[in-house]
A and B are shown apart, each in its own frame.
Chain A
Amino acid sequence: MLKIQNIKKTFNAGTINEVKALQDVSIIIEEGSFVCVLGTNGSGKSTLLNAVAGTFQIDEGSILLYGFEISKWGEYKRASLIGRVFQNPFSGTAPNMSIQENLAMAMKRGKKRGLGWGLPKSLTKEFQKLVKPLNMGLEDRLESPIGKLSGGQRQALTLLMSTALKPKLLLLDEHTAALDPKTASKVLDLTQQVVSKDNLTTLMVTHSMQQAVNLGDRIIMMHQGQIAYDFQGDDKKRLRVNDLLTLFDELRRKENIDSTVSALLLEHYV
């Protein structure tokens, strides 16, 4: 279970570029649930994910994961509980190292790394079995460097790597946004398979409302650093893309009205 309580984050505080990226966000995510996070650019959806991953330290609040208060932990320490897939397909793998070396490193996620052999022979067979279901022919190319693969292949491998040791939480940061539509849907299918196989608790940021509607059991819509809407259970099941679009429009209109109305009020009353 992930319990986020009253977290706040302001970037460039006290300067002209001040951005209140997270304003008092609280949410409880049950074990085994698959949450999609939607929102416009700059709404704070990626910031929320990075706050949990530990890319930066939050200003206030607490993050409890599986009973651990992780908000003061370094990024690398949180990795013992969290698996991550990044938006950029090049971020999740070491390009100059072989596929099997990358996979072997993933098998050690969050564990102590000592002077034991980094790539035991026994693992090769296991890796072949692991990548075979991808149907990308990677099982015969385990020794070639990952940098030679396509973005989709690398993203699929990153997904396998982040979930090879069942993480307590899986963070997906628009992990299909940089792929072509065909590859994206392939990676998305794989995501669904991997998540449902181990019943992983998942937090997925996405731009695509279609994805949010099709996947997962809960949708959170972020706006101006806050959670604007939260749909779960039957509400989520009934939700369609058009409903989400209407909500987006509503948010945008509210935003415009807010600023003009306050300007009006200012003129008349001050």
Chain B
Amino acid sequence: MSLLIGSLTIGLILALLALGIFVSFRIFDFPDITAEGSFTFGASTAAALIVLGANPMVACLAAFIAGMLAGALTGLIHTKFRINPLLAGILVMTALYSINLHIMGRSNIPLLNKTTIFTWIETFSNGLSGEMAKTLVLDWEVQVKDLWTLLFCGIGITLFCLVIWWFFRTNIGTAMRATGDNDQMIRALGVNTKRMIVIGIAISNGLIALAGATLAQYQGFADVQMGVGMMVWGLASVIIGESIINDTSVGFVIIGAVLGSIVFRLLVAIALRWGLNPNDLKIITALFVFIALILPSIMKNKKKLTFKKKANA
């Protein structure tokens, strides 16, 4: 049961990543691989600041801003110098690898015995019901502090979803959605689409960096490799979310991204429990996204075929 709660918590934390990927991939149709770098960038920035004794909230904010800067850089490289989105992302991601090593001073920073947002929650829980308090959930014994952690993560994600939902329904947010949908049209209505892309990719990477910062605090360390595969991970979450919730309006797609992240994390936890080699996790994730991407067109072809058969018969 504690495994389940742990998975749910990580699923919620990584929902920030899924939201970031949703913004770049789905709203802007911008395959932004900066995500892999900015995820670690957020983690390393936050971890380094926490080690220096900074308030964890300040560390999270700094991580968010750091991610935004990385995203804005990718956006600028793409719009100002007309470099392909993928290549622009790869450039920034590669550069961030060195920057992350500089920020941390080595390849990883442990955060044991440091104050993080999760030690705050633990202290809060201990104060309320004592250390090592346990309770029963569906006949399973779980630690109270784990439940509080899950609850706070849930509240945090809900707030983020509301803010993102609101933002993409404002005038500027609507213009951003239109930029991804039909940039010629919205330019003819007086919107600087290049600026929209820069701001949008910045927001996306801010969210992803925040996911990295939060995960580092949850697992108790930041590592220079922790961003590897995160873009595909986020994409998998978004795709699962879309198949769970079959609605294209902004609100439902956001809810879908969060649900997708949780479901995907649970699937991974179950697979690992059944004895999947953790080394195979990335290849399974990649295969999963590949299948999810080609499935719609295969289904369509199949439909066409049966249609043709019927027509011939």
Contacts and interface: CB of A to CB of B under 8 A. Distances in A.
A79 B190 contact: yes
Nearest to B177: A97
Contact of B185 (A53, A93, A111, A117): A93
Interface residues of B, number: 23
Interface stretch (A11-19, A101-109, A214-222, A238-246): A101-109
B189 A91 contact: no
A29 B264 CA distance: 61
Interface stretch (A70-78, A183-191, A226-234): A70-78
Contacts of A97: 174, 177-178, 181
A137 to B, nearest CB: 22
A270 interface: no
Nearest to A90: B182
A76 B169 contact: no
Contact of A113 (B169, B175, B181, B188): B175
B189 A114 contact: no
Interface string B203-216: 00000000000000
A94 B193 CA distance: 14
A119 B192 contact: no
Main SS class of interface, A: loop
A116 B172 CA distance: 8
B156 to A, nearest CB: 22
Contact of B190 (A92, A109, A116): A109
A117 B170 CA distance: 4
Nearest to A104: B174
A113 B172 contact: yes
A104 to B, nearest CB: 7
A55 to B, nearest CB: 9
B282 to A, nearest CB: 32
A79 B183 CA distance: 13
Given A76-B190, A79-B188, A108-B189, A94 B172 contact: no
Contacts of A80: 190
Given A75-B187, A104-B174, 15 more contacts: A79-B188, A86-B184, A91-B182, A92-B188, A95-B182, A97-B174, A97-B178, A109-B190, A111-B190, A113-B172, A113-B174, A116-B171, A117-B170, A118-B170, A119-B169
